[in-house]
Chain A
């Protein structure tokens, strides 16, 4: 019997992305527009870039078995703090970026320590952090604040061919994260702690380290996304993060990318496809002027269907002694 090579979860996500692009191109063409026009590709890449940075960080945090709900507020904070320090002067770009990222490190450190040492689940720990940050933003900033100098705005405006430089930066960050997960002990231990913290501990892994590291990296990546938004808008916006729904959208992209919400399994490559799928959907529905409600319905259905497929595949069954699994279950078990 010849066996068909079964798709991995990353394979499934990329097939869906391809399908979305093909269907999107056809629908766009039916509206007498070109999906692959420079303007349209640029729109998709720009959407992908911001959410991409955040979702890379979210992937790390979810892999290690935690969650980060504070990202939208870190994004907003980075945009107003960075813009505030720059105040339109190009000489202040470097200190502004350093202070902003330093602040993100501190936030991530607090998140990581609360999760790993105080044993507060990431959901609650980062919800608390998010509330604190949103309270700070609401009471100290009314409307936009701070301005990005022209030189900093070039970060958003510069393109190499059709590709924005910011997108290249995001891909570089993704490559770094993939390298970290595959080739460093930190990466291996991140998977181990997310998979089973007790097994990791029994094997002599210091389980706090990967948790804290993942939270710090996640906050820093969210801050970079905030700085990019500052470059795009030219001014700091205290609500730019929460308007983007980056907390739930990033979690949705990570899970759509095949990472297990419980941790221990998944990868960055899948997450990037998840982000791109949402970007393509948004773009196509924007071109077709779909009503906003239907847009949300489509997003909702996509994420729920994806998780339903994965859940079926990941059912943890005892191996049967007397029967071989049949039909769909057998195929799904093979796909694991």
Chain B
């Protein structure tokens, strides 16, 4: 029904998908797996009509098709449920599903027919009790997911792609999704199912395609694979000496940050001890609460229960400002949105936090800045250059300068090397090691497993907003992934 041949795509000279093939038959569930950056999303977006391929062909029913716009893919019966919902929160379920195709009678939108069609559509998926006139904002995440799927089905789709559909769902809601998928395949609809959760892949899929570094490494019937083999196919790369070893004079000292039974709306029951000189990595799937943990500590979404101890004394941190005053620093995930003011100069950015929180130390920090920027090897024409003109790696170094000039005792880092080149990555790892050698404690969240494993003295694995377990230095990717997905239960 759907046949993909030799699909290739690169972004700014970076090949993200190379020569990918795919074949889907009616009623089939094809699992698409791979690590972050393996090319799954790119492949999906090409099939959805969001990106156009550089090379390769897409055939539907033996006919070669090209999609310049998502609507064209939908008209050919290929719909996509993206991980981020494309819904209008202020509009009703029916209005969202039929947006752009509202049924009309005598020129007017036929609201009654629209609601009726919606309820029939939902009933066909085995869903009752979701009213077509409800506003999407009032729905739970699972219900919104159902609306997205119903919208995809409403195009009379014969192929539906789903990107991490269970990422935000609770267990009983996952059951419902399985049932819907069963209903669809019984009608002959084919599903392309992308997930990190290997259990789901094995429960649902009859064929599995593995992508790694933009290439297809295997396609095989699910019955011929097991979780262990699948993980090896996904990971299958040799660990290089890319990650610097701890500096020889690093000593693990007193606890600098402790959490005891801490939680808020997003994380729960968190116990952790972070000592000076330590680098702890936090691993977990998308939506497992990694970023939320850092935000809870830093007062972005303050803790509502449990205790937070800094350097041994109990403190409360209700705002980021209080966190900074207590010696915390947070390098955020999205440097353009929350890390930097891109229209300001390097110098203003690097002094931003000191100036705001410790104004009396601004002069001192300003004098130290040329030295700090050259230690970090920021390459720029001058300190007056606007941050927006720097490469991602140099921007990230400016973010580090911004935080290190507050002389923090605990540095929280969220995806510290996202979207930056290899050289800059290495430089940032060096900075982390030298911070540890100075007795600073580092807590790093990363979705790149090699990075977590290569840099961490200990690894905390999160799942569903809680710490699922702790793994020692040098654990394998299989073990971390197993604990993150829940396929491997904590031994201790």
A135 to chain B, nearest CB (A): 32
In Å, the complex CA distance between A264 and B264 comes to: 31
Give complex CA distance A189, B304 in Å: 42
B107 nearest in chain A by CB position:
A184
Q: How would residues 302 to 336 of chain A score, 1 for a CB under 8 Å from any chain B CB and 0 otherwise? A: 00000000000000001111110000000000001
Question: Would you give the shortest CB distance from A175 to chain B, in whole angstroms?
Answer: 14
Question: A64: shortest Cβ distance to chain B, in Å?
Answer: 13
A205 at the interface (CB under 8 A from B): yes
Would you give the shortest CB distance from A202 to chain B, in whole angstroms? 5
A182: chain B residues within 8 A (beta carbon)? 109, 111
Cβ 8 A contact of B102, one of A185, A195, A322: A185
Does B266 contact A200, Cβ atoms closer than 8 Å?
Answer: no
Q: Is the CB of B137 within 8 A of A203?
A: no
Q: Residues of A contacting B218 with CB < 8 Å?
A: none
B99 in contact with A192 (CB, 8 Å):
yes
Within 8 A of A (CB), among B278-329: 289, 304
Residue of A nearest to B70 (CB): A202
Q: In the complex, A191→B135 CA distance in Å? A: 13
Determine whether the beta carbon of A199 is less than 8 Å from that of B86: yes
A184 touches B108 (CB 8 A): yes
Find chain B residues with CB under 8 A from A196 CB: 88
Asked if B70 and A195 make an inter-chain contact with CB atoms under 8 angstroms apart, the answer reads no
Cβ B137 vs Cβ A336 within 8 A: yes
A188 adjacent to chain B (CB < 8 Å):
yes
Contacting residues, chain B, for A320 (C-beta < 8 A):
264-266
- Which positions 58-88 of chain B face chain A at CB distance < 8 Å? 69-71, 74, 86-88
B273 interfacial by beta-carbon distance below 8 Å:
no
* Residues of A169-216 contacting chain B, CB below 8 A: 182-185, 187-189, 191-192, 195-196, 199-200, 202-205
Given A321-B465, A336-B138, also A195-B88 (CB < 8 A): yes
Q: How distant is the Cα of A319 from the Cα of B169 in the complex, in angstroms?
A: 12
CA distance A189 to B109 in the complex (A): 11
Question: Please, which residue of chain A has its CB at the minimum distance from the CB of B71?
Answer: A204
CB-nearest residue of chain A to B269: A322
Q: Which residue from A183, A188, A195, A319 sits with its C-beta under 8 Å from B89? A: A195
Known: A319-B140, A321-B465. A264 touches B90 (CB 8 A): yes
CB-CB < 8 A to A185: which residues of B? Answer: 102, 104, 109
Chain B neighbourhood of A265, CB < 8 A: 90
Chain B hits for A188, CB < 8 A: 95, 99, 102, 109
Q: Which residues of B contact A322 (CB under 8 A)?
A: 263-268, 465
- Cβ-defined contact, A184 with B88, below 8 A: no
| B109 nearest in chain A by CB position | A183
Q: How far is the CB of A63 from chain B (nearest CB, A)?
A: 10
- The contact size tier of chain A is 20 to 34
Encoded as 1 (CB less than 8 Å from any B CB) or 0, chain A from 259 to 284 comes to 01000110000000000000000000
Closest Cβ of chain B to A83, distance in Å, is: 37
Minimum Cβ distance to chain B for residue A315 (Å): 12
Alpha-carbon distance between A191 and B95 when the two chains are bound, in angstroms:
10
* B399, chain A: closest CB distance, angstroms: 24
In the complex, residue of chain B having the shortest beta-carbon distance to the beta carbon of A185: B102
Known contacts A204-B100, A336-B138: does B88 contact A192 (CB below 8 Å)? yes
Assess whether B91 is interfacial by the CB under 8 Å rule: yes
CB contacts (< 8 Å) of B138 on chain A: these are: 336
| Nearest chain A CB to B82 CB, angstrom units | 9
Task: Report whether A191 and B88 are in contact in the complex, using a CB–CB cutoff of 8 Å.
Answer: yes
**B24 is an interface residue with CB less than 8 A from chain A:** no
Residues of A within 8 A of B89 (CB): 195
Inter-chain contacts of B71 with A (CB < 8 A) = 202-204
User: What residue of chain A has the Cβ atom nearest to residue B301's Cβ?
Assistant: A318
Please, how many angstroms separate the alpha-carbon atoms of A183 and B71 in the complex?
24
Q: Does B367 contact A (CB under 8 A)?
A: no
CB-based nearest A residue for B135: A336
Q: Does B237 contact A (CB under 8 A)?
A: no
Interface: B172 (CB within 8 A): no
Contact residues in B for A184 (Cβ distance below 8 Å): 107-109
Interface: B101 (CB within 8 A): yes
Chain B nearest CB from A204 CB (Å) reads 4
Which residue of chain B has its CB nearest to the CB of A205? B100
Q: Mark B107-126, 1 if CB is under 8 A from A, else 0.
A: 11101000000000000000
- Contact: A319 with B91, CB < 8 Å? no
Q: Which residue of B is nearest A187, CB measured? A: B109
Which A residues touch B104, using CB under 8 A? 185
Closest A residue by C-beta to B287: A321
Measured CA separation A321–B464 after assembly (Å): 9
Which residue, of A183, A191, A200, has the highest number of chain B Cβ atoms within 10 A?
A: A183
Known: A185-B109, A203-B71, A204-B100. A191 touches B265 (CB 8 A): no
Asked whether any CB of chain A lies closer than 8 Å to the CB of B141, the reply is yes
Contact with A along B138-158 (1 / 0, CB 8 A): 101100000000000000000
How far is B91's CA from A260's CA once the two chains are assembled, in angstroms? Answer: 13
Residues of A within 8 A of B86 (CB): 199, 202-203
Specify which of A195, A203, A319, A323 lies most central, judged by the most chain B CB atoms within 10 Å of its CB: A203
A97-113 CB contact bits vs B (8 Å, 1 = yes)?
00000000000000000
CA distance A186 to B74 in the complex (A): 22
Bound: A318/B108 CA distance, A: 36
User: Are B141 and A319 within 8 A (Cβ)?
Assistant: yes
Query: How distant is the Cα of A187 from the Cα of B104 in the complex, in angstroms?
Result: 13
A-B contact pairs, 21 of them (CB 8 A): A184-B108, A185-B109, A188-B95, A188-B99, A191-B90, A191-B91, A192-B91, A195-B91, A199-B87, A199-B99, A200-B99, A202-B70, A204-B71, A204-B101, A260-B90, A318-B266, A321-B267, A321-B465, A322-B264, A323-B264, A336-B138
- A contact set with B: CB distance below 8 Å: 182-185, 187-189, 191-192, 195-196, 199-200, 202-205, 260, 264-265, 318-323, 336
| 3 closest A-B pairs by CB | A320-B265, A204-B71, A204-B100
**Known A184-B109, A204-B74, A336-B138; further 11 A-B contacts with Cβ < 8 A:** A183-B108, A184-B107, A184-B108, A185-B102, A185-B104, A191-B95, A192-B88, A192-B99, A202-B86, A322-B264, A322-B268
